[in-house]
Amino acid sequence: MVRYTVRRLLLAIPTLLAVLTIIFVIVRVAPGDPATAALGDYASEEAVQALRQRMGLDRPLWVQYVRFLADLARGDLGRSLITGQPVIDQIRHVLPYTLELTAAAILVGLVIGVPIGIVTAVRRNTAVDYVGRVVSLAGLSVPAFYLGILLIYFFAVRLRLFPALGAAEFSKPGAHLHALVLPALSLGLIEAAYVTRMTRSVVLSVLNEDYVRTARAKGLPERVVLFGHALRSAMIPLVSLIGLFAISLIGGSVLTEEVFARPGLGKLMIGAMKQKDYTMLQSIMVVYAFIIVLINLVTDLLYGVVDPRVRYE
């Protein structure tokens, strides 16, 4: 297991470096000059050149790249062009909101999707199966932002059960969790549809395996066959699925944070795009890259824990 972990860590380093390089190139080759975009079209040439010099854009590309990596190694993400404050401070403030929203949405998706997927697989081609498949298909067809608006209308405006917008401080856990419910449901219900269909498919394939038929032939109770044998093997692809969902939810949280007016990386990124804050936008993309590579690494390690054959290859 130690060799497997070290190998995955070593593979994550070039992956992260490649992603950071892509971010650097995309920001530099994008149409328009970042300094002109930040100051506006009516800024004087002297002001634009001064800002370009302060941002290091007047230096050769390879020098900018080396400085970019060196700053990241020191944990320096630069300063916002709009506020002049360190970017790391603003990201540190909103990052927990995005991470908790993603974790809550994954929890909702698993709690709802896995049991429904198991039941529909065990009761294949029955009324329960048909209803579960139709509901999951409907969930796949609804955009997250539209579902969020519906949740706000029914549960916040009509029933007044939850706050419609914003998020409470972490120092107020009760109010904080109360404000998290609707955004988590907005993302989690859609992911539950994916989890349901994937779980059903995986469990169906596992139930047709020879070792499951052998366990049934030995007279083991159906409960033991399902939970002791089938679900253990079904966890292997589900772990990979959870990793993919975590990545998609990190990106999908952008619209959800905007709809519910929650602080988070997504809302911060949209604000940076509107204000043409080049430094902030690049830094948020870097943080997203770190999170995605970290999620992939954790998924690979969990995959090795669930399936011993992987870590012994």
Ordered DSSP codes for 198-219: HHHHHHHHHHTSHHHHHHHHTT
Residue 79, phi then psi, degrees to nearest 5: -120, 145
233: in domain = yes
Higher pLDDT, 208 or 157: 157
Task: Give the pLDDT mean for 38-48.
Answer: 69
Asked whether residue 212 carries a pLDDT value surpassing 60, the answer given is yes
Task: Give the pLDDT mean for 235-247.
Answer: 75
Q: List, in sequence order, every residue forming a beta bridge with 79; answer none if it has no partner.
A: 86
Distance CA 120, CA 137 (A): 13
- Helix/strand/coil percentages in the chain, nearest 5: 80, 0, 20
19: in domain = no
Distance CA 96, CA 80 (A): 20
Per residue in 50-63, pLDDT (tens digit) is: 777 777 777 777 78
Asked whether residue 163 carries a pLDDT value surpassing 80, the answer given is yes
pTM for the model = 0.80
13: in domain = no
Distances (CA, A) of 21 to 26, 61, 62, 71, 124: 9, 12, 11, 14, 48
Per residue in 89-131, pLDDT (tens digit) is: 888 888 888 888 888 888 888 888 888 888 888 788 788 888 8
- Running DSSP on this structure, what letter comes out for residue 20? H
Asked whether residue 156 carries a pLDDT value surpassing 80, the answer given is yes
Task: Give the pLDDT mean for 73-84.
Answer: 78
Number of structural domains (the chain) is 1
pLDDT at 301: 75
pLDDT at 311: 52
Distance CA 59, CA 291 (A): 30
Higher pLDDT, 5 or 138: 138
Q: What is the dihedral of CA 94, 95, 101, 104, to 10 degrees?
A: -140
pLDDT at 310: 57
Task: Give the pLDDT mean for 132-153.
Answer: 81
| CATH code: domain of residue 258 | 1.10.3720.10
250: in domain = yes
Higher pLDDT, 154 or 43: 154
228: in domain = yes
Cβ–Cβ < 8 Å for 161, 155:
yes
Cβ–Cβ < 8 Å for 235, 306:
yes
53: in domain = no
50: in domain = no
pLDDT at 230: 67
Per-residue tokens: 181 = 């419910």
Using DSSP's 3-state secondary structure scheme, residue 79 falls into strand
Distance CA 44, CA 57 (A): 17
Using DSSP's 3-state secondary structure scheme, residue 160 falls into coil
Task: Give the pLDDT mean for 40-67.
Answer: 74
CA-closest candidate to residue 156, choices 138, 175, 182: 182
Q: Which residues span the domain enclosing 253?
A: 87-311
Task: Give the pLDDT mean for 22-27.
Answer: 81
- Name the average pLDDT for the chain: 78
Task: Give the pLDDT mean for 134-139.
Answer: 79
Cβ–Cβ < 8 Å for 35, 81:
no
294: in domain = yes
Asked whether residue 87 carries a pLDDT value surpassing 70, the answer given is yes
